Amino acid sequence: MYLCSLICRNMENIKKYFPDLSEKQLGQFAALFDLYQDWNSKINVISRKDIDNLYLHHVLHSLAIAKILRFQPGTTLVDVGTGGGFPGIPLAIMFPECQFHLVDSIGKKVRVAQEVASAIGLTNVTFQHERMENVKEKYDFVVSRAVMPLADLVKLTRKNVAKGGKNALPNGLICLKGGELQHEVAPFKNISTLYNISDFFTEEFFQTKKGVYLPL
């Protein structure tokens, strides 16, 4: 009963912020809890103390990128340091007509993301167990969630951003960060855009969370 209540409560939050989701998308989001709980008991990709907060701390946080930019059909994205699939899997559910490539240097984490994606029937994701410096392909956008300092992320992924673009923002990097970012953003202050995630989601968890966009 507790588990059902937890999932239902969190799904209400997702529907509140994203009211136009299809029944298929809602089903995919609803399936994530059981899948991650099961895999997390075998391979620790999320803090076990945090698994009850999966939707708030991981799924909804990932979906802040969807509030920054509604990706057009055909957009290609690479998720750097995806871990167990964040932000890539929630975004792939949200944007089924876009193509996502999820990369991580830790093979067991990639396996979890693969298994979760397969279980919910995602067909717009591919996976790679590799260090990002060895990934040569180009994409419209790089997305990431608190994987490394911003300057390092820009240096690592600039080579992977294709020229041009089809979206409301030029091709580039969108990453999710927490805490004080003034020092990190300073080298890019003339070209970066900083977003308060609390402007998108009202829960207290998001008060210190930020999104950063950089054209590359």
Say whether pLDDT at 139 is over 50. yes
CA 141 to CA 166: how far, in whole Å?
11
Say whether pLDDT at 9 is over 80. no
pLDDT of 165-212, one tens digit each?
999 999 999 999 988 888 899 999 999 999 999 999 999 999 999 999
The better pLDDT of the pair 40, 85 is held by: 85
At the topology level of CATH, where does 64-215 sit? Rossmann fold (3.40.50)
Once rounded to an integer, what is the mean pLDDT over residues 33-41?
92
CA 65 to CA 209: how far, in whole Å?
12
For the record, the structure tokens of 68 come out as 């920054």
pLDDT of 193-206, one tens digit each?
999 999 999 999 99
In the chain, domain spans: 64-215
What Rg do the C-alpha atoms of the chain give, in angstroms?
Answer: 16
Strands (E) located in the chain: 76-80, 99-104, 125-129, 141-145, 172-178, 193-196, 209-215
- Which pLDDT does position 180 carry in this prediction? 82
Question: Is residue 200 a contact partner of residue 101, using CB atoms and an 8 Å limit?
Answer: no
User: What is the value of pTM for the model shown?
Assistant: 0.95
CA 163 to CA 170: how far, in whole Å?
9
CA 157 to CA 67: how far, in whole Å?
22
Confidence class for position 4, pLDDT limits 50, 70, 90: low
CA 210 to CA 199: how far, in whole Å?
10
Question: Is residue 121 a contact partner of residue 96, using CB atoms and an 8 Å limit?
Answer: no
- Which pLDDT does position 5 carry in this prediction? 64
For the record, the structure tokens of 117 come out as 């994606």
Q: How far is CA 141 from the centre of its chain?
A: 12
Q: What is the mean pLDDT of the chain?
A: 93
Q: How far is CA 80 from the centre of its chain?
A: 9
Say whether pLDDT at 2 is over 70. no
- Which pLDDT does position 164 carry in this prediction? 86
